[in-house]
Amino acid sequence: MVKKYALMSFGWFSIVLGVVGIFLPIMPTTPFILLAAWCFARSSPRFHFWLRNHKYFGLMVTSWEDGHGIPLRVRNRVLFLLWFSLCFSTYLIDRWWVGVIFFIGGVCVTIYLWRQPILDTEQEKLLARQVSVPVRKDSESG
């Protein structure tokens, strides 16, 4: 029971961080939303269903969980922001060993992203049509 509530709390915390990442260019959105989906899948079918069918995050979560991959434009944007923030941070910190650590981490993340399947435009459109929030019909009170 404690694990369930801990995962739910961590999932909502990840959602908040993901939303903040929409507005802060150096903070990623996608990993936090996917982490929230992982937490909700293990703690709350209701929240997991909500996230998979969310208007903005649903396509991202569904295509990732179903193994379809990530859209090319998203991958390219992530790689650009990753390397921009790593280079800028290295410049600000001005320590050679920090640059080496950032470089190694950046190379690992880049290789990982390059190895992921790419969701082509047609698949993305098809999945976007499939991912929609179902309309709830409230029962009439008598």
**Which is more confident, 135 or 103?**
103
Q: What is the pLDDT of residue 3?
A: 92
Percent of the chain with pLDDT over 70: 84
Question: Does residue 85 lie within any of the structural domains?
Answer: yes
Q: How far is CA 65 from CA 7, 41, 43, 48, in A?
A: 18, 10, 16, 11
Residues 28, 82, single domain; the answer is no
Structure confidence at residue 142 (pLDDT)? 38
* Nearby residues of 71 by Cβ (< 8 Å), 6 or more positions away: 63, 118, 119, 121, 124
Tally of domains in the chain: 2
Residue 97 and residue 40 in one domain: no
Tokens at 85, concatenated: 């923030």
DSSP H/E element including 68: none
DSSP code, position 13: H
Residue 133: its pLDDT value, please?
A: 43
Cβ 32 vs Cβ 17: under 8 Å: yes
Question: Do 107 and 81 belong to one domain?
Answer: yes
Residue type, 53: N
- Give the orientation angle of helix 2-23 with respect to helix 45-52, to 10 degrees: 20
| 83 and 48 co-located in one domain | no
Please give the residue that has the higher pLDDT: either 72 or 102: 102
Residue 142 falls inside a structural domain: no
Spatial distance between the Cα atoms of 31 and 21, rounded to a whole number of angstroms: 10
Q: pTM of the prediction?
A: 0.66
Asked if residue 76 and residue 35 are part of one domain, the reply reads no
Q: Is residue 139 part of a domain?
A: no
Spatial separation of the C-alpha atoms in residues 127 and 121, rounded to whole Å: 10
Identify whether residues 4 and 59 lie together within a single domain.
yes
Full residue range of the structural domain in which residue 38 is found: 1-69
pLDDT at 124: 67
Q: Which residue has the higher pLDDT, 73 or 7?
A: 7
